[in-house]
Structure 1
Amino acid sequence: MEAIIYIAHGSRRNAANEKFISFIKKVMDSKSKVQVYAFLEHAEPTISQAIGTCLEKGAKVITVVPVLLLPGIHAYEDIPNEFKGYPDIVFRYAEPLGVDEIMVEIVMDRLGAAGLEQKEDEVVLLIGHGSREPEASVEFEIFARCLAGNINVEVHTSYLTTPVFYHEMVEKLAGKRIYILPYLLFFGGYMGKIEKEIRVYDKIIKLCDPVGFDEKLISLIQKRASEVRG
């Protein structure tokens, strides 16, 4: 018996977790495998609880799908560490969502809804969470270049928790019409924080909606699940 566990980070805000649950149930449309979801932090079911559900249903092979935007410590250390201690179970790991044309489409949708006209005085500032894993920032830069190639506008990257911080980038982009886009699935209090902090700048700034759990992600998550590694 095979199983799939879809793992999200989780939020202290129950409403955000409920959004993920509603979304991931649309991903779990196949009846051929046991499919469950779990949260790394702040909510239940936990990863260990999800593993228990899979084992109770007779699973011997479990595909682990991190529903995360970029690679990082969570994807490469925290989540795999939760699966140690099960010598009789084969675990297969999918990659995070990463760089993909679907992600570009979603971000372009957000920018279009915010009024981006692709003029010379416009610039896009992506805000990621930030990670200690260097690969995360490398992949974020690759994504920014892909996006820039599709919209013919300068695209810059910044972070909430690690340098370069987004407010520093706002200062550097003086004289431009700045479209700020939080590159986040779970955002909660971060949006309020960003809104409050950008009010102090005497600049033309448009805060776009975050990525969130867009339904376009469904096919991408299913694609990542099919590309698993041992």
Structure 2
Amino acid sequence: MNSFTDDRHSYAICLIGHGSRDPEGIEEFLTLWKKLRERKICRTTEYGFLEFAKPSVTEALSACHLDGIKYLIILPGILLPGEHSQRDIPNAVGDHPNTHFAEPLGTQPQVMAVCRERIEEAENFSQKSIARSKTLFMTVAHGSHDYNSQVEKSFHLLGEKLGFGKTGIHFAGSSQDSLEESLEKLMPQEFHRVILLPFFLFSGVWVKRVHTLADTLQEKYPNTEFLKASCLKHHEWIVDALVQRAHESISSK
């Protein structure tokens, strides 16, 4: 079957997130789920979390099994491949029949377009006029050894397209340096502005850590402006990217 548009009542989607102790992050996830559900691309769209929040994946899967549902699409509410998408989610789902596992969002064009918008929002928030050629653009993302090079390439292309003087990326969890060390290695004095983009879907520990570091470095380097971009959240283009992943999961079978 190449599409579920003609037989959407036979499909259920389960959007699975990692979960968070941060209420703001959970609320952002729920808003994304509601927007996805409003697209009505299948009969029912449920959600669950791997940890830290309810409902659990098991509870979410139970809610998906309505009369007439034949196929289940597991949709990771996750940006990059890694242990969560490759191990934790399949283990939590188990051996449910007729299950299609979608890929994480990755660096799809829609996702990168949201990143660009978040950068521009941060620039527009500033009262200063600073050329991009005098700006260091720094992305912070979760590290995934199998995917780091592709992510790095995508953000370097974005940085070049936008005309930044320098583009860097720090992979949390897989870099030998701390975020501050990675940043200061890329910060010669000629940069008048630094834009920090947390490449995460939702608010949480790392987003707050990035923004706190920006405030700390602003005090340390008063002649350089530090701008804090928002995480991606529930932008409509993120919803578009999730819908695309859902379609891809069954067209590849």
If the TM-score is normalised by the length of the shorter chain, which range does it land in?
0.7 to 0.9
Given that 1:99 and 1:142 are in contact with CA atoms closer than 8 Å, whether structure 2 keeps it comes out as no
Q: What does 1:44-59 align with in structure 2 at a 5 Å threshold? A: 44-59=54-69
Aligned position for 2:194? 178
> Identity of counterpart residues, as a percentage?
25
Seen in structure 2, the aligned counterparts of structure 1 residues 19 and 196 have a Cα distance that, compared at 3 Å, is: closer
Aligned to 1:95: 103
Contact 2:15–2:47 at 8 Å: present in 1 too? yes
* 1:124 CA drift (Å): 0.6
Deviates more, 1:215-224 or 1:163-172: 163-172
The answer on 1:19 being equivalent to 2:31 is: no
**SS of equivalent to 1:96:** coil
Equivalent pair of 2:200/2:207 in contact (CA under 8 Å): no
Matched, 1:197 2:213: yes
The letter for the 2-side match of 1:93 is F
SS across alignment from 2:30? helix
**What's 2:173 paired with?**
161
CA distance in 2, matches of 1:55, 1:46: 15
Q: Which of 110, 127, 133 is residue 120 of structure 1 equivalent to?
A: 133
Q: Structure 1 CA distance, aligned partners of 2:213 and 2:20?
A: 22
Pairing 1:75-90 to 2, within 5 Å after superposition: 75-86=85-96, 89-90=97-98
1:152 paired residue number = 163
Map Cα deviations across residues 146-200 of structure 1 (whole Å, 9 max, x no partner). 3124212232110333315321221112222211111111222334333333444
- Aligned twin of 1:138: 149
Q: Which has the larger radius of gyration?
A: 2
Query: What is the root-mean-square deviation in Å for CA atoms of aligned residues?
Result: 2.1
8 Å Cα contact 2:78-2:104 kept in structure 1: yes
Aligned counterparts of 2:24 and 2:67: Cα–Cα separation in 1: 29
- The answer to whether the aligner puts 1:213 opposite 2:244 as a matched pair is no
Query: Helix, strand or coil: the match of 1:80?
Result: helix
SS of equivalent residue, structure 1 residue 178 = strand
Check whether the contact 1:118–1:151 (CA below 8 A) recurs between aligned residues.
no
Q: What is the aligned residue count?
A: 226
Q: SS at the partner of 1:181?
A: strand
TM-superposed CA distance for 1:31, in Å, is 6.0
Out of 203, 226, 229, the position equivalent to 2:247 is 226
User: TM-score of the superposition, structure 1-length normalised?
Assistant: 0.88
Q: Cα deviation per residue 1:106-126 (whole Å; 9 max; x = unaligned)? A: 111111122285532211100
Q: Is the CA contact (8 Å cut-off) linking 1:70 and 1:139 kept in structure 2? A: no
- Alignment gaps of 5+ in structure 2: 1-9, 125-129
Q: Please report how far the alpha carbon of residue 103 of structure 1 lies from its aligned counterpart in structure 2 after TM superposition.
A: 1.7
User: Which amino acid is 1:188 matched to?
Assistant: G
Distance change >3 Å, CA 192–CA 145, structure 1 → 2: closer
* Greater displacement, 45-54 / 142-151: 142-151
- Tell me the secondary structure at the aligned position of residue 35 of structure 2: helix
Q: 1:80 Cα deviation (Å)?
A: 0.9
Letter in 2 for 1:98: G
Mapped contact 1:10–1:186 kept (Cα < 8 A): no
Q: Is residue 2:74 matched to residue 1:67?
A: no
Contact 1:102 1:216 in 2 (8 A): yes
**Structure 2: which amino acid aligns with 1:120?**
S
